[in-house]
Amino acid sequence: MDRVAALDAFARVARLGSFTAAARELRVSTTAVSRRVADLENHLGVKLLERNTRRLSLTELGGSMLERCERILEDLAELEGLARRDQGQVRGTLRVTTGVDFGRDHLAPVIAGFQQTNPEVRIDLHLADHFVDLVGEGFDVAVRMGPLRDSALLARRLSASRLVAVASPAYLAAADAPQHPDELRGHACILDTNGAARWTFQSATGRSVFTPEPRFAVNSPGVTRDRLLAGEGISVAPHFAVAADLRAGRLVGVLPGYTMDEIPLHAVFPPGRRLSTRVRAFVDFLVDHFAGWDG
């Protein structure tokens, strides 16, 4: 029995909750993964996983073993990384998650550049606009825009993007452009619920806070942008999400005499474990890339 392969198979099955998903990650057959886990259980003389036709769960001993098993695998990966460092080689699988629009337009191209430099790294990118449980779902790194919700996670700041109030020229041609945040009450507001429920504006005369009663609310920057381009109202968005539309004139800034807060961009990773060589290399690459980012 290849103990390392067996431990790796067990850890992936436990984390993903599926022999099929683990086989996909390992690029082997489901039968091979099942055999490796069975060999490990036979070798140890214990049951690590409860299997039935509807669900897969860890036994009490399996749960206790999982954390130690992952630590062993990380230590082995670290040793391999140290051995290859002089040759500039980083390898292994990285599971990364971020928002749908940011991932498609900004992170995916960065990942392509990282993999050109590190061809032995396989990246599994998961795009989701809802909050993702980094630890529970087994991700190595999350790239998150906005205030960090979970203080238990470790984070490294990458950059920031300023918020801007925007609308289409067609909408503003049909409705008088607001001159003060209070005048937004007379407008159709579109709210991206991923962001703040209140819009805060700063000018030379002070700070104004507006709480929109949205005509339309959605948890997607992309859908918010679509409604803006259709001329359906005013919204607040991160500058990176609408920069191309502003340059092309498809959207225009509203309340130009006011500024809004910046929202930070972080790389976030689970606590309680040493960062692998590939995670450190990836995060360092992100830091270098976003240092000059015009967000």
Domain-located, residue 166:
yes
pLDDT at residue 84, rounded to an integer: 59
Q: Are residues 179 and 254 in the same domain?
A: yes
- Tokens 């992309």 belong to residue: 222
Could you say which DSSP state residue 106 is in? I
Phi, psi of 140 (to 5 degrees): -85, -40
What was the pLDDT predicted at 295? Answer: 67
Residue 243 maps to a domain: yes
Q: CB neighbours of 230 closer than 8 A, spacing ≥ 6?
A: 168
Q: What is the CATH number of the domain that holds 106?
A: 3.40.190.10
Q: Answer yes or no: do 254 and 166 share one domain.
A: yes
Q: Above 80 in pLDDT, residue 275?
A: no
The residue-averaged pLDDT of 1-7 equals 84
Instruction: Check which CATH number belongs to the domain holding 257 and give it.
Output: 3.40.190.290
Confidence of residue 282 (pLDDT cuts 50, 70, 90): very high
Q: Against a cut of 0.85, is the pTM above it?
A: no
Average pLDDT, whole number, for the chain?
Answer: 86
Q: How many CA atoms lie within 13 A of 265 on its CB side?
A: 26
State how far the Cα of 168 lies from the Cα of 155, in Å rounded to an integer.
36
Final residue in a domain of this structure, among 85, 116, 145: 85
For residues 60 and 198, state if they share a domain: no
Domain encompassing residue 128: 92-159+265-290
E strands, 46-129, in order = 49-51, 56-58, 92-98, 121-127
53 pLDDT above the threshold of 70: no
Domain with residue 59: its CATH number is: 1.10.10.10
Which of 46-60, 75-89, 213-227, 243-257 comes out lowest in average pLDDT? 75-89
Domain assignment present for residue 295? The answer is: no
Work out the pLDDT band at 6, boundaries 50, 70, 90. Answer: confident
170 in the same domain as 254: yes
Could you tell me if 151 and 273 lie in one domain? yes
Mind listing the pLDDT tens digit for each residue in 62-118? Answer: 888 887 887 788 777 767 666 655 455 677 888 999 988 899 989 999 999 999 988
Greater pLDDT, 245 or 19 = 245
Q: Is residue 103 part of a domain?
A: yes
Query: Looking at the structure, do residues 38 and 68 belong to the same domain, yes or no?
Result: yes
Query: Which contacts of 4-7 are long-range, i.e. CB under 8 A and separated by 24 or more positions?
Result: 4/73, 4/76, 5/36, 6/36, 6/37, 6/39, 6/40, 6/43, 7/40, 7/69, 7/72, 7/73
Residue finishing a domain among 69, 85, 101: 85
Task: Determine the pLDDT at residue 136.
Answer: 75
Per DSSP bridges, beta strands 189-192 and 141-145 are unpaired
Residue-level pLDDT at 146: 83
